[in-house]
Structure 1
């Protein structure tokens, strides 16, 4: 009897496994019951407690960090679209369906993202991060339906911190074409990747809060602040000339944002 190969999924969801088993289980549960996805769970630990979900495919990675883990998963992803989910974060109901509908209607999009909010030990923010980005809110705050950012999408992503990694859905072919995440850029690698993709293809946005991002503990923010600032400055240096051609004002906005980051890093080091 001839066995048919399993149908390719519509979306490959990439999770670089880290943190607690409870948080990872909650992240996987937040994906919802969609049966047209594969969940590529990349682990550096052995053994690891894997959530009970038949959609999960476990990939073993060397101890090289989350960007290398994501790149490993990109090599084997079978779906035309990839969605990223950090193990500490949670998707809101309808997130996956909303972005799949957007990409189905606008096949030219290279990537899309949604609004999101932060949560942690002190509770959760009621306001979305897009409302806190003053330039983005002034330009797009009236929108309630999914939309494309426009010809200066790269400049918009450069000037303000509007794209959360766990909100992104992107075309697999474009992710591979641009080389995936730069593994030498640490926590700034996602920003660099979105900028490289925005230079080549339109960017979409679902302006609804569809993800909750967990704040890292204070000790981690303290330890990582100087290195993270240096990585952000390197990304800004790489892309500033391309951004200048779209909107020179975005350079000033980004510089001001990095100055705030620098002040925050000094405050953390003084604690």
Structure 2
């Protein structure tokens, strides 16, 4: 399915941010070029790579591949947003430079979306692979099954997972929600998904069409656990403030309390006892009767007293 759209504007813009990942980038781009649907443009937002990424991209003899050169910021969200600003198509897909698509991903998503115009975005099933591309079935089997419809509540409960590389989204919907929030440094992709889910039904394809790579150099793998919890709490707090639905607000605040408790436990293990108890105070104000918060408080207190490490 390689027909080109009339007028020269491609049907799909693919946004791919990268930084110093040339061996994996080659594979990611090959998975786009190998799509059975060929009417796309690929915007590769290079965040100032210092390896041979520039030479590789400049040597690609395919006018559909459009490099975007940036000064280094070390911020995946900024690179993704920069690429998104150059997208011309009705539909936008995203791929990270360490992940892969199976050949029929775009074709199958577009075909099924055409039959369900009420859905303005889609995501697919995915599985996990390691650095060498070897499947990780013991972890992949634990991933939640994709579900369609209005998924804001299950998404907030963490009962569904919508990684950005699995998505295909109407550009007009992205513009309506304001794109990616660059003030959220880590979980901007999850915040993006929440705002999509609050705005439109989604079409979920259970087919495994995306491969997400787990490896030590992945962005989240290099961060402190306390940072991850703090950033996730910020996302839930933002979602609570954005809705007038009391049920959704309560669910968001419950998740805020749980993230703060997780942050406290992580800080306690780092011996940052003052910061741990500050996080627990915030969690207690949100959910004073939540058992998990109190159990965490006991554990933090015992650790601070040196009862256990």
Q: TM-score range, shorter-chain basis?
A: 0.7 to 0.9
Question: SS where residue 181 of structure 1 aligns?
Answer: coil
Deviations along 1:120-174, one digit per CA (max 9) or x if unpaired, are: 14842226758533xxx5xx7xxxxxx7323xx1112111151111101111011
- Give me the whole-angstrom Cα distance separating, in 2, the residues matched to 1:101 and 1:219: 32
**Relative CO higher for 1 or 2, CA cutoff 8 Å, sep ≥ 6?**
1
1:172 aligns with 2:154: no
Deviations along 1:69-102, one digit per CA (max 9) or x if unpaired, are: 2212222211100000000001112111111112
Contact 1:8–1:79 (8 Å) recurs in 2: yes
1:101 aligns with 2:111: yes
- Which residue in 2 is equivalent to 1:57? 66
- The number of residues matched between the two structures is 254
- Give me the whole-angstrom Cα distance separating, in 2, the residues matched to 1:255 and 1:40: 39
With normalisation by structure 1, the TM-score equals 0.79
What is the correspondence of 1:201-220 to structure 2 with a 5 Å cutoff?
201-217=200-216
Cα separation, partners in 2 of 1:266 and 1:200, compared to 1, 3 Å: same
Contact 1:23–1:88 (8 Å) recurs in 2: yes
Greater Cα offset, 234-243 or 21-30: 234-243
- Which residue in 1 is equivalent to 2:229? 229
Greater Cα offset, 162-171 or 70-79: 70-79
Deviations along 1:193-213, one digit per CA (max 9) or x if unpaired, are: 111121111111111211111
Contact 2:233–2:259 (8 Å) recurs in 1: no
- Which residue in 1 is equivalent to 2:185? 186
Q: Please give the root-mean-square deviation of Cα atoms over the aligned residues, in Å.
A: 3.3
- Which residue in 2 is equivalent to 1:11? 12
- Which residue in 1 is equivalent to 2:47? 44
- Which residue in 2 is equivalent to 1:29? 30
- Give me the whole-angstrom Cα distance separating, in 2, the residues matched to 1:117 and 1:267: 32
Compare CA radii of gyration and give the structure with the larger one: 2
Contact 2:131–2:215 (8 Å) recurs in 1: no
- Give me the whole-angstrom Cα distance separating, in 2, the residues matched to 1:93 and 1:258: 41
Which runs of 5 or more structure 1 residues have no equivalent in the other structure? 141-146
- Give me the whole-angstrom Cα distance separating, in 2, the residues matched to 1:148 and 1:58: 34
With normalisation by structure 2, the TM-score equals 0.70
Contact 2:226–2:262 (8 Å) recurs in 1: no
Cα separation, partners in 2 of 1:125 and 1:262, compared to 1, 3 Å: farther
